Amino acid sequence: MSLAITSAISLNPSKRVLPGFALSLGISLLFISLILLLPITGLIVQTAGMSWNEYWSVISDPRVVASYRVTLWAAAWASAFNGVVGLLLAWVLVRYEFPGKRIVDALMDLPFALPTAVAGITLSALFAENGWYGAILAEAGIKVAFTPLGIIVAMSFTSLPFVVRTVQPVLEDLAVEDEEAAISMGGSDLTVFRRVIFPSLWPALLTGVALSFTRSLGEFGAVIFIAGNMPYISEITSLMIFVRLQEFDYAAASAIASVVLMASLVLLFLINIWQAFYLRRIHGR
């Protein structure tokens, strides 16, 4: 019996755990079409009714442009902050044993589990001048809630897990021997991190930061409660989309959304290309 099975498997090397290639690819493509492509197509269809001039005037409206600036700027800072803090957290979670480590590890996903509106309200409560953090920061003359700084806080909170969760497995796979080899050759801690550890982490870290950035570009719920939403100062692009929707102007909303979508896609695409190039070298493929 077992012999028969073994020979059957060895005779037919294409047998896999998953059903046939055609079927699984078909399901994947169907899924991609229904869940990813169709909504994007919808977006394009919505904007298709506009002339190029209308489209341009919607997306280049000074207030909307100001919101791009605010959003990009805040998302950049938030993702940069997450790059540093997320790397540190992943490092601590992988490299050290301490009581409560599992709880901290589980807490990492909280920003994903929490409804973003709840996150926004909680953050604004904490960072308002009468909140726990806000009171302390106010003494130092720093205002967070209802300023652009608040946008950064909300964005980095909601997108932190992206960095931690992409860097963590790579760190786990990183051989301690590589570090030991580098140290035994006289490398200082900084050199070892910079020249040995970081180059291995770098692709994952960049992916994490990029995901964090793109997620921040689209974040609405958490930001809206802490931003203050002052025109030209702390209005994010998602709010501009929301305003257009409130005005029943779907086409304009879609037009602005298309700008965000395009920016995200271009960024993710570039990173993918760069990464493929970099990883091919490391894995020798």
Partner 1 sequence: MSIRVEGVSKRFGKFQALEPLSLEIPDGQLVGLLGPSGSGKTTLLRIIAGLETADTGRILFHGEDVTRVHVRDRRVGFVFQHYALFRHMTVAANIAFGLEVMPKHQRPSAPEIKKRVQDLLEMVQLGHLASRYPAQLSGGQKQRVALARALAMQPQVLLLDEPFGALDAKVRKDLRRWLRNLHDELHFTSVFVTHDQEEALELSDQVVVMSAGRIEQVDTPQTLYAQPDSRFVLGFLGHINVLQGDITKGRLSQGNAWISVTDQTDAKEVECYFRPHEVKLQTQPASHAHLPLKVSAVSLIGAEVRVELEADGWSSPEPWEVGISHSEYNAWQPMRGDRCFAVPEIGHLFSADKSEPELIQWQAKPPVSIKSSVVSLVHTA
Partner 2 sequence: MKTFKRAKSLVAAIVLGLGVAHTHAADQSLLNSSYDISRELFASYNEHFAAVWKEKTGNQVDVRQSHGGSSRQAQAIIEGLRADVVTFNQVTDIDILHQRGKLVPEDWREQLPNSSSPYYSTMAYLVRAGNPKNIQNWDDLAREDVSSVFPNPKTSGNGRYTYLAAYGFAQQAFPEDQEAIDGFVRTFLNRVAVFDTGGRGATTTFVERGIGDVLITFESEVNNIIAEFPDHNFEVVVPKVSFLAEFPVAVVERHAQRNGNLELARAYLEELYSEEAQRLLAGFNYRVHNEVVQQEFADQFPAVELLTIEQIAGSWDNAMEVHFANGGKLDQLQRR
* Residues near partner 2, by CB under 8 A: 58, 61-63, 121, 124-125, 128-131, 145-146, 224-225, 228-232, 239, 242-249, 252
Query: Whose Cβ is closer to partner 2: residue 63's or residue 101's?
Result: 63
Query: Whose Cβ is closer to partner 2: residue 79's or residue 234's?
Result: 234
Question: Tokens standing for 200?
Answer: 């291995």
Q: Residue 146 is which amino acid?
A: F
Q: What is the DSSP letter of 227?
A: S
Q: Are 221 and 116 within 8 A, CB to CB? A: yes
14 binds, among partner 2, partner 1, none (CB under 5 to 8 A by kind): none
215 binds, among partner 2, partner 1, none (CB under 5 to 8 A by kind): none
183 binds, among partner 2, partner 1, none (CB under 5 to 8 A by kind): partner 1
Q: How far is the CB of 243 from partner 2 (least distance, A)?
A: 4
| Alpha-carbon span 100 to 252, nearest angstrom | 49
The CB-side HSE value for 61 (13 A sphere, CA atoms) comes to 18
Backbone phi and psi for residue 14, each to the nearest 5 degrees, phi listed first: -80, -5
Query: Whose Cβ is closer to partner 1: residue 51's or residue 184's?
Result: 184
Query: Whose Cβ is closer to partner 1: residue 139's or residue 177's?
Result: 177
Query: Whose Cβ is closer to partner 2: residue 229's or residue 275's?
Result: 229
- Give me the count of residues in the chain: 285
Nearest alpha carbon to residue 159 among 75, 235, 233: 75
Q: How far is the CB of 84 from partner 1 (least distance, A)?
A: 21
55 binds, among partner 2, partner 1, none (CB under 5 to 8 A by kind): none
Question: Tokens standing for 177?
Answer: 């021997």
Query: Whose Cβ is closer to partner 1: residue 102's or residue 283's?
Result: 283
| Alpha-carbon span 202 to 205, nearest angstrom | 5
| Alpha-carbon span 86 to 228, nearest angstrom | 27
Query: Whose Cβ is closer to partner 1: residue 39's or residue 199's?
Result: 199
Q: How far is the CB of 235 from partner 2 (least distance, A)?
A: 8
Q: How far is the CB of 130 from partner 2 (least distance, A)?
A: 4
Nearest alpha carbon to residue 256 among 269, 242, 273, 268: 242
243 binds, among partner 1, partner 2, none (CB under 5 to 8 A by kind): partner 2
Where along the sequence are the contacts to partner 1 (CB under 8 A)? 175, 177-178, 180-188, 191, 195-196, 199-200, 281-285
| Alpha-carbon span 18 to 218, nearest angstrom | 35
61 binds, among partner 1, partner 2, none (CB under 5 to 8 A by kind): partner 2
| Alpha-carbon span 251 to 247, nearest angstrom | 11
Nearest alpha carbon to residue 90 among 150, 162, 155, 30: 162
Nearest alpha carbon to residue 213 among 135, 156, 128: 156
